Structure formats: structure tokens, C-alpha cells
Structure 1
Amino acid sequence: MFQPWGMVLIWGLLTISLAQATPRGQAVLVVGPEVFNKAFHQELMNQDTIKILKTLPLYEAMEKNQVNSFPLIGGLVNNFLKQIIWLKVTEASIPHVAFQISEGHHLQIRIPLDMVAGFNTIISPKLIELHVEIDVIADVHTVIDQQGPSHLVLRHCTNSPNNLRISLLQKFSFAINILANKIIDALMPTLPSLVKNEICPIIEKSFTSVTSKIYTWSTLPVPIGSNFLSFDVLSFSVVDTNFQLDLNAKLRDRGGKLIKVFKDTEGQLVMPSLNNFDFSFIVRQEVVKAAIGALIPFQELTVLLDSVLPDVARHLKSILNKINPKASAQLKQTQMVKIFPEEPPEIILKAGSVRVAHMIVLEVFGTNQETRPLFTLGIEASSEGQFYTEGDRLFFNLKGISSDHIHLMNSGSGLFSPELMGSVINEILTSVLLPNENGIFRKGIALSILKDMGFNEAKVIPIQGALLITPA
């Protein structure tokens, strides 16, 4: 099992504040109480909690407690206990795990234990059963490490007679009912300390195991084409009843070399209400931009217009004949255009919408033998973007593209106004650049953390300045 914290130097042990924390990293992983409860319950099962409950030494603990509590009447106690032939837990379950807010306004975890204890006596051959319900309650605390991120631990795992209920499942004879009541009276002060000593260490170990798994899942690399995003945990805390990890992102190549380090951006992300989501992964706009940019290679797209897009070639020649006849005259049957991005596209995320801004360079050549273009254009274009999911993979799609501003960068055929070329430039971008980039985006991005959390499908929602990914 991965141990993310190792030997830590604790310089602060703080009760979790339920106030909203402002993330300062580039991503936020939020695990809701239902998801955490499910994982925690499963971990309790993995730790053989039921088996341990069934082997609780009820008789021995009751005998010890009775003798210690009433040393002067030990003989009477022994006479009472000698009527019991056999006493043990025959059935045990943990119905559900729940979170609650304490009177001190911090988070507590409640683990209900439901048991049936059976016993035989010398006065009856029948099995007598007691229904035992006891709640174990522990406080969730954050530990601040001087050199590493904060993390969560359980403290003050305890129970009390107020959380203990024991009742007789069947009615028997008067004598057996009296004996059963004596056993109940003897178990009431015994069980809380027995459960605390035997079960609380398992509960604390299970909690640590679950938080460690979540920590590990949050730092798994996310493949982005030939690169990948890696995440480091800045803090692990509780907000309301959600478990929140503030993450710092880095873009690396396949060899692990750093490509981009993102700066802390405290206060820029407005966290949406996440009470309706079992799990959510929020990634800031700048990381989304870097991921999309990493998918798009900086390569030239070369097209022989007359051969591939003859209608576009005729449209280009017609427009140039009006605004730059010299350039138009030099366009031959092997006329060629080259397109390449000047920089990665800018992603603008707002609530419910994705806008993409492109900076593109377009070169026009008279023939495919020319080494110098007739002219070079710098194009500011925009698209509407769409994120969508299939299963646990995230996809991106550009829905159209159009030029907003066209700049003449250089020209060997005289100066002219390139803005008049807007319609044909849009045709070239739509016919050449758009399908190429959408083809790249169809590879998708695997979101393995969803499967780790137990979900098979995801949905993605643009929010202000970030992308929200949740189970479908």
C-alpha cells in the first residue's frame, strides 16, 4: 500500500473547519460522503471487521468487569456467570456509515454495529438471543505536516452507554427473562470499552487506508497524447461533508521531463455547489488549455487546392483578382497553401459554454515548387468548443471555425487588404484545419480515476474558468 505521508513531523493538529476553502492549485478533487462511505465500508470488510466482531470475548470481558466492579461479592457474580454455558456473537453487520456535524461544528463519522449475541444456560436448552446495537463515533481531523501536504486522520474513536442498545429478541420463561436481564445489565458497561479496544484500531486503520487510496488515485498521471499531466496534493481537507484535495498540476513528456509548471492561482476559481455530486474533478482553464495544446502537434498542413478543393481554389483566385491581381496571376494549377498554428489555442470556459481562440499562420504559394510564399497571413479565428464523454473517456470537438481578424504578415506581390479574404479563408480553415484537429481530438483522454472511484461513465460541464467532470 502506498504511504503518501510516511514519518511526518506534526506541528499542528486541527479540528476540521467546515468553512469553504479556496483552492489555490490547478485542480480540485472532491469525494462526496456516499462515495467515501462505500469505500470505507468495503475497507472495513477487507479488515475482517465482521469476523472480529464475532470473536469478541463477551463472557471474559463481562466476568472481568463484574469482578473488578464488585470485588466483595465475587462469589455471587461467579454463581450468576456459572449459569451461562456458552455466550458469543452469532451475527454481525455494519448497516451503513454516516457523517454528522458535532456540536462543536466539526465532522464526525458514525459507524453503527449491529449484532446478535446468543447464549445457552443450564436452566434451558434453548438458544437465547440478544439484539445488540452500538454506535462508534470518531472525529475527523486534519494533520498539517511541516514539509508535506495536510492529510486526514481519525481521532477520539469512542462509544458510550448512550449509544448502546441491548434487547431480548424472544420472550421466555420468567426465570430465563430474569437471567437475560442480568446479562444485559452486565454487558451494558462492558461492551463500550471492549468495542473501543478491539474495533477502534480497525476503524482508524480502515480510514487511513481509504484516504491513502484517494490520495494515490488523485496523483495518477493522465495521458495526454504523447505527454501526460501529473498532480501533486497541496492539501487534503473537509468542506462541509465532502473530502477535498487541492492539486497542483504539471505537464510532462513521456520521459517525465517537465514541459510546463503551473503557478498557484489562489482566489480565481469560484467553486460551484457540489452537494449534488458523489464525486467531482475540477480542472482550471489553464490546465485544460495546456492539455488541448499538447494534443495538437506543431505541424504544417499542406494542401494542393486545385487537386483537393477546386471550388476553394477558384474562389481564392477570384478574390485575389480583385484585391491583388499580381498575386492572382501567379496562382497556377499546383497552387498550394500551408497552415500551421502560431501558438496553442486559447480555451475560454464559462458556465455552459466553451470558446476557442486560434492564432493561425496561412501561407499561399503560386505552385508546389515555390519555396517562398506569395504572401503570409496571420489569422485570429474562433470556434465554439464542445467537451463530451463516452464511458470514462473525455473528448473535445470544435464546432465550426471562422476568422475574426486577418493580418498581412508579409507579401512578395504588393500590399493589399486581407480582411476582404474572410470568406475564402473561412472555407480553407473549415475544410483543412477543422477536420484535422477534430480527428486528433477523437483519440480522447482516459479518466482512470473514475473507474478507481467505482464509476463507469462520466459527464463534463463547463463552469466559470474551469471544467467540471462528474459521474454520469
Structure 2
Amino acid sequence: MFQTGGLIVLCGLLAQTTAQLDVLPLSLDNGLPLAKTPPQDPHPTDLAGSLTSGLSSGLLSKNLLGILQNLPLLDVLKSRGDTSGGLLGGLLGKVTSLVPVLNNIVELKITDPQLLELGLVQSPDGHRLYVTIPLGMILNVKLPVTGSLLKLAVKLNITAEILAVKNAQGRIHLVLGDCTHSPGRLQISLLDGLAPLPVQSLLDGLTGILNEVLPELVQGEVCPLVNEVLSHLDVTLVHSIAEILIHGLEFVINI
């Protein structure tokens, strides 16, 4: 004989199970949703890449390349080019023939400025980072002697020291320490092959002047931008790097 009581119990269990399934949230593929992984702090091996990437993008967004392209290089050279104890008098000595040439340069213009891949090293005590900012550009030089345009490839490195400091409120941030160029490390090469001997002599003298003037001029523009970019880096990134530097821990550099 069919048991009515058993049927009632079975129906009750089925109804309860159906109700429980109805309240379970389903994803689009009819499976249970996966739990979201909470965001993690940057791993130490990512900090170096994040820092150099942030500095590069920051410098570019601050129009570094446009600033370099519009440097008043010829005006600066001429303003320092008097022979009465000025730049030319101190550097060139017997190469006095360059003085009238410099004063009559038809064109000296920077084109194709580039920000190359940044380098990063940590100081031996662990409390500082040194960022190498390599720059490249082309100098278009038109001399009356030739009447044609000469192209010079120029490479220059600016080195920025980064420190971590803590203010009176206990907040830590990154600041710019020394920001310099390496004397004598300016690389200048003629792109258009060999120049005639008279022109080559003039270019040698001009290169000597550029070695004294151009790095200083570029440094004066780049270093304030680096300091400004540091103040606008991601807060989490700044905090992570500053904590490492303040305690002198090893900064993992793999870029």
C-alpha cells in the first residue's frame, strides 16, 4: 500500500532543496562566482620598473622633449663667447679662428630629442637610489665656411639622486638630492661622414664649447622636472620605496 506520509516528507525535502538553490547567486556560466583576490602591494621586484616607468612617463608628460628642442643653445654660446676671459678665451686658446665663425653661425638647432631607457642603481649604504636619465638629440649646425647643414648626434646622461625623508607629521616621501651630469661624458659624433679638414678643425673647437655649455644647460631643465615628477608619483609606490630606503634594505633591481 502506498504510504501517504512518506510522499508528504519527500515533497517537503524537494521543496526545501529547491528553495535553497534559488537563493544561490549564479555566474553567467551557471557556476558559483569566484572570490575576488584582494589587491596586493607591489612586489619588491616590481618597484624598480614601476619607478623608472613613472619617471619616464612623468618627464614626457611635462614636455621634456619640447623643452630640449627649444633650448636657446646658439644664444647661450654667443653670450659666453667673448674672448675677454669668457668661455672661448678660456677653452680655445690658440683656436681664435672659431670666434668669428661662432658669431656668424647660420643655424645651431636641436632636433629629434629622445628620452632613452632609464637606469637605476642603489647606493652601498642602501639609503639612496641613483637614476640615470639618458638623452639623445641631433644638432643641426650650419657654418658659413661650408654653406651646408652638418648634423651632429649628441648623447648625454643626467644622474638624479633620490632620497626618502620623513616630515614632521611622520609622512614619508621621495625627494631629489644631487642632480648632475658626468663631466666629459657628452658624446658628439658627425652623422654626415668626414668633414673637410678646415671644417673638422672648427667642429673640434665647437665640440669643446658644447662640452662645457650643453650639459649644464640640459641639467638646468631636466633636474627641476625630475623633482616635480617625484612629487606626483603614485602614493603606494612612493611609500613602498621610501620604507626600503629609510631602513637601508636591499632594493631589488631587475629592469
| TM-score, length of structure 1 as denominator length | 0.39
User: Kindly tell me: are residues 112 and 235 of structure 1, through their superposed partners in 2, closer, same or farther at Cα, counting changes over 3 Å?
Assistant: closer
User: Kindly tell me: are residues 177 and 240 of structure 1, through their superposed partners in 2, closer, same or farther at Cα, counting changes over 3 Å?
Assistant: same
Shift of 1:36: 2.0
Shift of 1:58: 1.5
Superposition pairs for residues 49-448 of structure 1, below 5 Å?
49-67=64-82, 68-70=86-88, 78-102=99-123, 106-170=128-192, 171-210=194-233, 214-215=234-235, 236-237=242-243, 238=245, 239-241=249-251
Q: Does the 8 Å contact 1:94/1:113 carry over to 2?
A: yes
Q: Does the 8 Å contact 1:139/1:157 carry over to 2?
A: yes
- 1:85-129 per-residue CA deviation (whole Å, 9 max, x = no partner) reads 000111110111110134665321110011111111112232201
Aligned residue number for residue 57 of structure 2: 42
Shift of 1:235: 8.5
Percent of paired sites with the same residue: 23
User: Kindly tell me: are residues 61 and 123 of structure 1, through their superposed partners in 2, closer, same or farther at Cα, counting changes over 3 Å?
Assistant: same
Letter in 2 for 1:101: Q
Q: Does the 8 Å contact 1:131/1:166 carry over to 2?
A: yes
Q: Does the 8 Å contact 2:105/2:143 carry over to 1?
A: yes
Q: Does the 8 Å contact 2:157/2:186 carry over to 1?
A: yes
- 1:147-204 per-residue CA deviation (whole Å, 9 max, x = no partner) reads 1321111111111323321122222222222222121111011112111212211122
Shift of 1:236: 3.0
Structure ranking higher on relative contact order (CA contacts 8 Å, 6+ apart): 2
**The residue matched to 1:209 in structure 2 has which SS?**
coil
In structure 2, C-alpha distance between the alignment counterparts of 1:104 and 1:163, rounded to whole Å: 26
In structure 2, C-alpha distance between the alignment counterparts of 1:124 and 1:76, rounded to whole Å: 15
User: Kindly tell me: are residues 113 and 234 of structure 1, through their superposed partners in 2, closer, same or farther at Cα, counting changes over 3 Å?
Assistant: closer
Letter in 1 for 2:116: P
Letter in 1 for 2:219: K
- 1:412-466 per-residue CA deviation (whole Å, 9 max, x = no partner) reads xxxxxxxxxxxxxxxxxxxxxxxxxxxxxxxxxxxxxxxxxxxxxxxxxxxxxxx
In structure 2, C-alpha distance between the alignment counterparts of 1:234 and 1:198, rounded to whole Å: 28
Shift of 1:50: 0.5
Q: Does the 8 Å contact 1:157/1:200 carry over to 2?
A: yes
Letter in 2 for 1:156: D
| TM-score, length of structure 2 as denominator length | 0.69
Q: Does the 8 Å contact 1:66/1:77 carry over to 2?
A: no
Q: Does the 8 Å contact 2:69/2:111 carry over to 1?
A: yes
Q: Does the 8 Å contact 1:66/1:186 carry over to 2?
A: no
Residues 1:33 and 2:58 aligned together: no
In structure 2, C-alpha distance between the alignment counterparts of 1:64 and 1:103, rounded to whole Å: 42
Letter in 1 for 2:251: T
In structure 1, C-alpha distance between the alignment counterparts of 2:241 and 2:124, rounded to whole Å: 25
Shift of 1:218: 7.0
In structure 1, C-alpha distance between the alignment counterparts of 2:61 and 2:240, rounded to whole Å: 29
> Which sections of structure 2, spanning at least 5 residues, go unmatched?
1-39
Letter in 2 for 1:208: S
Shift of 1:28: 5.0
**Which has more strand, going by share of residues?**
1
Q: Does the 8 Å contact 2:88/2:99 carry over to 1?
A: no
**Which has more helix, going by share of residues?**
2
**The residue matched to 2:80 in structure 1 has which SS?**
helix
Superposition pairs for residues 452-467 of structure 1, below 5 Å?
none
- Aligned pair count reads 202
Q: Does the 8 Å contact 2:165/2:173 carry over to 1?
A: yes
Shift of 1:39: 2.0
**The residue matched to 1:111 in structure 2 has which SS?**
strand
The structure with more radius of gyration: 1
In structure 2, C-alpha distance between the alignment counterparts of 1:97 and 1:234, rounded to whole Å: 20
In structure 2, C-alpha distance between the alignment counterparts of 1:174 and 1:154, rounded to whole Å: 45
In structure 1, C-alpha distance between the alignment counterparts of 2:240 and 2:199, rounded to whole Å: 61
Q: Does the 8 Å contact 2:51/2:237 carry over to 1?
A: no
